[in-house]
Structure 1
Amino acid sequence: MISSPPGAYRHSNDQWGSFKRLSANLPEGSLVVLDRKVAKLHPTVLTALKARRPHAVLQLTGGERAKSFEALEQVLSAGLTLPRSGTLVAMGGGTIGDVSTMAAHLLKRGVRLVQVPTTLLAAVDSSLGGKGAVDVTVRGRVVKNPVGVFHYAEETWLCPELFASLSDTQRREGALEAWKMVASLDAELFQAYTRRAPALERLVKDARRLKESVCAQDPYEQQGLRRVLNFGHTFGHVLESVSHFKLSHGDAVGLGMLCALDVGRALGVTPPNVAERVEAALQKGPGVLGRERTAQLLGRAALKDIQVLLAADKKTGAGGELRMVLLTDIGVAEIRDVTAPQWRALWPAWTQGVRP
């Protein structure tokens, strides 16, 4: 039987357990890309890794700066002598996972990848789906993810003890990404979550199941089905950029969802009662930041800069229209083209921190 090449699409192979137990199966001579903060917070991780005689353990500082060509070059240099049959382990949050996925795809035209998400956000979202990307600066503004690859992980290790050190902010931003999928994909689960907030492990398993169900239908984003996962990302990425990435990705997506609800309501796509229910659930459940935060960020930016960021977004159509994910009901989303005059009409309310 001929096996799939490294990085080819495969259904998620999630392994739950302690890092010490799971790492015992790591092939010797693997390249590990490890978030420096994780190494400091969880010193036993390095002990377990060294027991497997790694090719190298490259420590990087997590955060948006890790998604750069400079960081990618560091990973590639560390893995130059890794064999084609080698393994790259990405251990950290989403940014470490992104640059490691890029490197795994490029090294020897593809090596085996193992994801070990250490943040809730990476666990519910970025470690699943095969995407890796780096950022590019355009006219002084950082554009998120315009250069990337698909390279699926062979395994994902989910180690609950690594989540114990997460801050309330990190838990909130991960929960917001999970609620994004629930609100746009599963009405029944949305109802259940509004009645009783799920435990962390349940939240991770539900979010990964929902994302996997979408990715399995469109693994390389060729049919457009995966676009539904971008609910809240169009203006979320803009808010991240104008904050110079002081606003976390999950919090940005939360505010981006509010913008998407506003756009949908203004276009007559999202029924007002649906928009109100989702916004109330995001406030009560994961705790989306207030609209005043959107106003603070957009108030510092020129409208022309916002247009540059949106034009560079990979979800923009050929005519410059935004391809936005808008809700038509709880658990039901559609892709709609939104013209510049349509979203600009909401700008005054957004910069005042009020619902249009």
Structure 2
Amino acid sequence: MTTIPVSLGDRSYDVRIETGLLARAGEVLSPLAKGRRMPIVTDANVGAHLLTLQSSLEAAGIASEAIVLPPGEATKSWAQLETLTDRLLELGVERSDHVIALGGGVIGDLVGFATAILKRGCRFVQIPTTLLAQVDSSVGGKTAINSRAGKNLIGAFHQPALVLIDPHVLDTLPLRELRAGYAEVVKYGLIDDFAFFEWCERSAAALLAGDPQARAYAIAHSVTAKARIVAADERELSGTRALLNLGHTFGHALEAETEFSAKLLHGEGVAAGTALAFAFSARQGLCSPEDAQRVAAHLRTVGLPDGLKAAGITASGAQLVEHMLHDKKMAAGTLPFLLACGIGEVFLDKTVDLKDVEAFLDEQPR
């Protein structure tokens, strides 16, 4: 087992990574259960993994209750939040209890927010079942639901008590979902680790094809990078954690344009947004066109969208910028952007003129 600590004082916790860990989860979770029932929140796509988890809990003498929600981004909503909190209250969840989030980023975000507000805060455990959730959303305590105005605008910082990652569960993940998760893997190389980006160029095909060593390395490296950044800037106050938003400002606008539907998965939006961030950086003379083209080429090679056309976006620059105006990072009428001086050299720019962004987006192929 690989154990990666997320060091946050009295909110510290471990991320444990091991193939086959889901089948041993009951043994690992027994100290947290303390004889109490552990509700499991999941979605309808995670049935096989739910049975494995329930069997493991039962073998450890832990009672459980499954709450199965609809799959998809639409589940991060007021309606499903109400459904979930009502059910947890019916089950008699107490502040010291632990709720298990078994699923991808949607389930993790929803359960994290529900437990943040239930009885003014109870505990939860992340067991992510998608690559995107394993390398990104399960770690760091950002929890939220979406609203009509935009993505993740209603939420809270609420750290899990423990994160259990079993790379074996990725064997049942559709290739499209794997690719979407890979967008968050390569992000760590693009931010500040050129050597890891080079590893991604060499190893992405093996990772996506199921190579266990490539997957284990990518997950552990990504989690270690995120844990370091979160420990340095838990609530995104110094700007360090903001680096993790590479591709997200553009990407969230694309997701909003598709109404957060399955037309564009979150990781696909991040990939297209990352390519756009590098292309915009090159247009502004911040990085070389060659670097921007190299990033776009890599994303294309692994089957991810590298811009508006590949993402199926036909909206005008003005329409996409309008979505950006609802971004939660807006401050004093200014929207910070993650731009690049080169691969592995990303920085936060708070001086970007949205008119320049609009013009740039209008120039992009549709």
Q: What's the TM-score once normalised by structure 1's chain length?
A: 0.88
| Aligned 1:8-47 pairs, distance under 5 A | 9-16=11-18, 17-26=20-29, 27=33, 28-40=36-48, 43-47=51-55
Query: Which segment is superposed worse, 68-77 or 9-18?
Result: 9-18
User: What CA distance in whole angstroms lies between the structure 2 residues aligned with 1:181 and 1:290?
Assistant: 17
User: What CA distance in whole angstroms lies between the structure 2 residues aligned with 1:7 and 1:164?
Assistant: 35
Counterpart of 1:230 in structure 2 is 245
User: What CA distance in whole angstroms lies between the structure 1 residues aligned with 2:183 and 2:169?
Assistant: 19
Counterpart of 2:254 in structure 1 is 239
Is 1:103 aligned to residue 114 of structure 2?
yes
Mark the CA change 1:42 to 1:153 in structure 2 (over 3 Å): closer, same or farther: closer
Counterpart of 2:268 in structure 1 is 251
Counterpart of 2:309 in structure 1 is 293
Mark the CA change 1:304 to 1:268 in structure 2 (over 3 Å): closer, same or farther: closer
User: What CA distance in whole angstroms lies between the structure 2 residues aligned with 1:307 and 1:293?
Assistant: 17
- Residue by residue over 1:56-79, the C-alpha shift from the partner in whole angstroms, topping out at 9 and shown as x without a partner, is 321112211111111111221122
Counterpart of 1:156 in structure 2 is 163
AA aligned opposite 1:65: A
Mark the CA change 1:293 to 1:303 in structure 2 (over 3 Å): closer, same or farther: closer
C-alpha RMSD over aligned residues = 2.2
User: What CA distance in whole angstroms lies between the structure 1 residues aligned with 2:180 and 2:126?
Assistant: 19
Mark the CA change 1:15 to 1:161 in structure 2 (over 3 Å): closer, same or farther: closer
1:91, distance to aligned residue in structure 2 (A): 0.4
Query: Which segment is superposed worse, 275-284 or 68-77?
Result: 275-284
User: What CA distance in whole angstroms lies between the structure 1 residues aligned with 2:286 and 2:190?
Assistant: 15
Is 1:332 aligned to residue 345 of structure 2?
yes
| Aligned 1:140-151 pairs, distance under 5 A | 143-151=150-158
User: What CA distance in whole angstroms lies between the structure 2 residues aligned with 1:221 and 1:292?
Assistant: 28
| Aligned 1:187-266 pairs, distance under 5 A | 187-197=194-204, 199-244=214-259, 245=261, 246-266=263-283
- Residue by residue over 1:298-329, the C-alpha shift from the partner in whole angstroms, topping out at 9 and shown as x without a partner, is x2x3555423311110122322x331101112
Mark the CA change 1:23 to 1:335 in structure 2 (over 3 Å): closer, same or farther: same
User: What CA distance in whole angstroms lies between the structure 2 residues aligned with 1:307 and 1:240?
Assistant: 12
AA aligned opposite 1:178: V
Residues paired across the two proteins, number: 339
Counterpart of 1:113 in structure 2 is 124
The 8 Å contact of residues 9 and 151 in structure 1, kept in 2 or not, is answered as: no
Q: Give 2:72's match in structure 1, choosing from 24, 38, 63.
A: 63
What percent identity do the matched residue pairs reach? 32
The 8 Å contact of residues 7 and 111 in structure 1, kept in 2 or not, is answered as: no
The 8 Å contact of residues 16 and 165 in structure 2, kept in 1 or not, is answered as: yes
| Structure 1: gaps of 5 or more residues | 1-5
1:47, distance to aligned residue in structure 2 (A): 3.3
Q: What's the TM-score once normalised by structure 2's chain length?
A: 0.86
Counterpart of 2:98 in structure 1 is 87
